[in-house]
Amino acid sequence: MTSSILVLGAGMVGTCTALHLQQRGFDVTLVDRGAPGQETSLGNAGLIQREAVEPYPFPREPGFMLDVALGRGAQVHWHAQGLWQMGKSLLGYLHHSHPLRHAQATAAYSRLIAHANNEHGPLIAAAGAQDLVAHEGYRYVFRTSEAFDKAAQRAEDLLARFGVRFQAENSAQLAQAEPALRRPLAGAVHWLDTWAVNDPGTLVQRYANLFVARGGCLLMGDAASLRAQGAGWSVHTAEGRVQAEQAVLALGPWSDGFIRTLGYRFPLFIKRGYHQHYTPSASVRQPMLDAERGYVLAPMQRGLRLTTGAEFAPIDASPTPVQLAKAEALARELIDLGQPLPEQPWLGARPCVADMLPVMGPAPRHPGLWFNFGHAHQGFTLGPVAGRLLAEMVSGEPLCIDPAPYSPKRFG
Ligand SMILES: Cc1cc2nc3c(=O)[nH]c(=O)nc-3n(C[C@H](O)[C@H](O)[C@H](O)COP(=O)(O)OP(=O)(O)OC[C@H]3O[C@@H](n4cnc5c(N)ncnc54)[C@H](O)[C@@H]3O)c2cc1C
């Protein structure tokens, strides 16, 4: 008999989880309060980041910390209320960012990242989404030669340890590759295997269309209405209450609020981020990180998207796009940005975990309930492999990766 399962949350992670469960013969209902891919998975920089083998540690350099504390620089912004609310998780994040613990996290994280392209590739093809994806890489650009030299050395190390391919480009090579740059820079690390999606929300939509075309059921509904029912779970949807034997929570940055209602206290927190689109006279050809200033420029269908670093603030606090203003001024030093599109800046939240690893596996105290969230800075990259690993765990088949480091049980 076919086994039934609900997947709650149709961002990149939930949609890919639904596809992988469906592929393994489950009768899957994918539920979201809105259309697929309209939240965090829409507003990101659109990068499928094969280079991101190391999760982001909490920066520990005293100078950087002082800048953050004093509100200088564009990389980090904070609300006192956010620090207060997420304080315990942030202390855990600081603890796990110690080089020894960060190395352990990297070992587990890099195993997931290694599958990013191999897992996205077949889905992109099956969903007919090749038009959205460029394969020309992603650059970290550097203003000073000290930072460039250090980054090129680090890239050598990542190539040796994780097979992350790159090309170091000097000032002239960078200027030739990106003629829109209005001043010479020290150089760039060009990550060759990173893919760039020019409309991230539409890629999730196409994956969701594929799920529906293959017979999956996509419904509007509220995860807050999830209830244990008999030996299974049910949720209220636009078509009434839907019941299934099992359920997966893939609510991205809203997962913490939800699992608290079930009695779980995991060290989760969020890093908010903004984007704004511009209409430059000449755009950059490939996405780039202004590595010493901490923002990304990514060419999108709507225009050139500028995305910001981390803001520590409650998920529902009013927008405070101060980083956007700072990053815009910095980006204007590099290219002629043109005008911002007449739209409110987009605001989203990266779903983070203190130990920098996602939460994937069975809910410790709720039989038939599974967790798949906390993919932080790379949830758009990791959605397909996260979906595959979770589906393999649910179906009891051999696993592509050892899931122990991501187990929800690590938090009790
Ligand atoms: C500025 C910025 C730039 C980024 N750049 C990149 C990048 O280049 N590459 C990368 O890999 N990652 C990037 N990320 C991170 C990435 O966007 C996220 O990790 C990823 O989108 C998380 O996906 P998700 O499916 O877990 O969450 P989401 O996409 O947020 O999906 C969660 C879903 O749950 C639904 N939901 C929530 N509550 C309920 C409820 N009560 N009932 C029903 N449904 C509900 C929401 O509607 C939503 O559709 C970036 C993030 C930011 C903020």
Distance 225 CA to ligand 1 centre (A): 21
Residue 200, both tokens? 């991230």
- Tell me how far apart the alpha carbons of residues 294 and 301 are, in angstroms, rounded to a whole number: 23
Please give the pLDDT value at position 97: 95
CA distances from 175 to 53, 170, 172, 185, 298 (A): 27, 9, 5, 8, 17
DSSP per residue over 352-378, as a string? EETTS--EEEE-TTSTTEEEEE--GGG
Pocket test residue of 380, 390, 406 for ligand 1, highest count of atoms within 8 A of CB: 380
Please give the pLDDT value at position 66: 73
3-state SS record for 212-232: HHCCCEEEEECHHHCEEECCE
| Residues ≥6 apart with Cβ < 8 Å to 95 | 101, 354
Distance 11 CA to ligand 1 centre (A): 6
**Nearest C-alpha to atom 22 of ligand 1 is from which residue?**
379
- Tell me how far apart the alpha carbons of residues 379 and 320 are, in angstroms, rounded to a whole number: 24
Distance 374 CA to ligand 1 centre (A): 9
Is 372 buried (19+), middle (13-18) or exposed (0-12) by CB count in 10 A? buried
Pocket test residue of 30, 39, 115 for ligand 1, highest count of atoms within 8 A of CB: 39
Please give the pLDDT value at position 1: 62
Closest among 17, 76, 33, 75 to 391, alpha carbons compared? 17
Please give the pLDDT value at position 29: 98
Region for residue 36 given its phi and psi (left: phi exceeds 0; alpha: psi -120 to 50; beta: otherwise): beta
Distance 155 CA to ligand 1 centre (A): 28
- Tell me how far apart the alpha carbons of residues 7 and 251 are, in angstroms, rounded to a whole number: 9
First to last CA, the chain: 33
Distance 177 CA to ligand 1 centre (A): 32
Please give the pLDDT value at position 65: 73
pLDDT in tens, the chain (412 residues): 679 999 999 999 999 999 999 999 999 999 999 999 999 999 999 999 999 999 999 887 777 777 777 776 778 888 888 888 898 999 999 999 999 999 999 999 999 999 999 999 999 999 999 999 999 999 999 999 999 999 999 999 999 999 999 999 999 999 999 999 999 999 999 999 999 999 999 999 999 999 999 999 999 999 999 999 998 999 999 999 999 999 999 999 999 999 999 999 999 999 999 999 999 888 999 999 999 999 999 999 999 999 999 999 999 999 999 999 999 999 999 999 999 999 999 999 999 999 999 999 999 999 999 999 999 999 999 999 999 999 999 999 999 999 999 999 999 7
Which residues have any ligand 1 atom within 6 Å of their CB?
A: 8-14, 32-34, 38-41, 44-47, 49, 222-224, 250-254, 273, 275, 307, 348, 350-351, 373, 375-381
What SS3 state is found at 209?
helix
Distance 55 CA to ligand 1 centre (A): 17
Which atom from ligand 1 is nearest to the alpha carbon of 377?
Answer: 15
* Domain ranges across the chain: 4-43+201-266+355-411, 64-98+132-196+269-353
Q: Are 6 and 260 in contact (CB under 8 A)?
A: no
Distance 144 CA to ligand 1 centre (A): 33
Which atom from ligand 1 is nearest to the alpha carbon of 298?
Answer: 8
Q: Are 274 and 307 in contact (CB under 8 A)?
A: yes
CATH topology (fold) of 4-43+201-266+355-411? FAD/NAD(P)-binding domain (3.50.50)
Which atom from ligand 1 is nearest to the alpha carbon of 37?
Answer: 49
Residue 6, both tokens? 């609900």
Q: Could you tell me which residues are beta bridge partners of residue 360?
A: 372
Report domain 64-98+132-196+269-353's class: alpha beta
Please give the pLDDT value at position 73: 74
Please give the pLDDT value at position 113: 98
Pocket test residue of 205, 226, 254, 288 for ligand 1, highest count of atoms within 8 A of CB: 254
